[in-house]
């Protein structure tokens, strides 16, 4: 019985860990894309303003 509870808790812990890693990866991707957008926006404003 204790083995079964341990396996269930280990599976839940692994799932939570994978979910947390996925969440952090998505958040970092959003931060990196927003950094690119804020960096490129003055250049894009000049390019599209001239047309």
Q: Which residue has the tokens 């047309």?
A: 51
pTM exceeding the 0.75 threshold for the entire prediction: no
Give the pLDDT confidence of 1-51 residue by residue, as tens digits.
999 999 999 999 999 999 999 999 999 999 999 999 889 888 888 888 876
Residues in the chain: 51
Give the pLDDT confidence score for residue 46 in this predicted structure.
83
The dihedral built from the CA positions of residue 26, 32, 38 and 43, taken in this order, carries a sign that is negative
Q: If DSSP codes are grouped into helix, strand and coil, which group holds residue 51?
A: coil
Quote the CA–CA distance of 30 and 50 in Å, as a whole number. 30
- 50-45-47-30 Cα dihedral, nearest 10 degrees: -160
């Amino acid at each position: 019985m204790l083995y079964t509870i341990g396996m269930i808790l280990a599976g839940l812990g692994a799932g939570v860990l994978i979910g947390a890693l996925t969440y952090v990866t998505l958040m970092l991707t959003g931060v990196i894309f927003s950094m690119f957008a804020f960096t490129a926006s003055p250049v894009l404003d000049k390019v599209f303003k001239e047309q």
